[in-house]
């Protein structure tokens, strides 16, 4: 199993808490990714500034996408693998601002993510979710 998937599954059940990144205590989708980063790679590569629930939408800036591009390896969207970081655009015309970690590829594709009202869960990467994926990345693990 992917080290990233194993780490992410350890976060399942963590409550949703905006701007937090603490396993079992609370996190949002970015906090989940930050926590998994710390577990598999160590210190986070940059400080995350405070952000609102609508962050970067008023400006129309793809801040999350740019940050992912600075620290993760971009992949083709059709090259799914366990451990991939998925970036979602939740509404047409909106900035991409939701993240998840793919756990299974193929017909039974699944991903782990955190969102309000649910916390950290593993969900099927169903058609409604899959069509919202705008970018795919992988952690810079140095093992392939």
Which domains are seen in the chain, by residue range? 3-138 (3.90.1720.10)
Cβ–Cβ < 8 Å for 120, 112 = yes
Cβ–Cβ < 8 Å for 64, 94 = no
Nearest Cα to 37, choosing from 85, 108, 107?
A: 85
- Mean pLDDT for all residues in the chain: 92
Q: Which tokens belong to 56?
A: 């970067």
How does residue 78 score in pLDDT terms, banded at 50, 70 and 90? confident
Confidence at residue 144, expressed as pLDDT on a 0 to 100 scale: 46
What pTM, to 2 d.p., does this model score? 0.93
Dihedral sign (CA 44, 137, 19, 66): positive
Confidence at residue 55, expressed as pLDDT on a 0 to 100 scale: 66
pLDDT at residue 59 is higher than 80: no
Instruction: Please spell the DSSP secondary structure of 65-125, one letter per residue.
Output: HHHHHHHSEEE-TT---TT-EEEE--STTSPP-EEEEEEE-GGG-EEEEEETTTEEEEEE-
């Amino acid at each position: 199993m992917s080290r990233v998937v194993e780490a992410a599954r350890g976060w399942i059940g963590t409550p949703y808490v905006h701007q937090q990144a603490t396993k079992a205590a609370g996190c949002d989708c970015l906090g989940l990714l930050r926590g998994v980063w710390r577990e598999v790679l160590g210190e986070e590569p940059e400080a995350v500034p405070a952000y609102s629930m609508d962050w970067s939408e008023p400006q129309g800036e793809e801040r999350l996408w740019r940050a992912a591009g600075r620290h993760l390896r971009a992949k083709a969207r059709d090259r799914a693998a366990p451990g991939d970081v998925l970036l979602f655009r939740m509404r047409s015309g909106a900035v991409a601002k939701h993240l998840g970690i793919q756990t299974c590829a193929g017909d039974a594709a699944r991903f782990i993510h955190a969102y309000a009202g649910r916390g950290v869960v593993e969900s099927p990467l169903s058609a409604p979710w899959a069509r919202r994926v705008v970018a795919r990345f992988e952690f810079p693990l140095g093992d392939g």
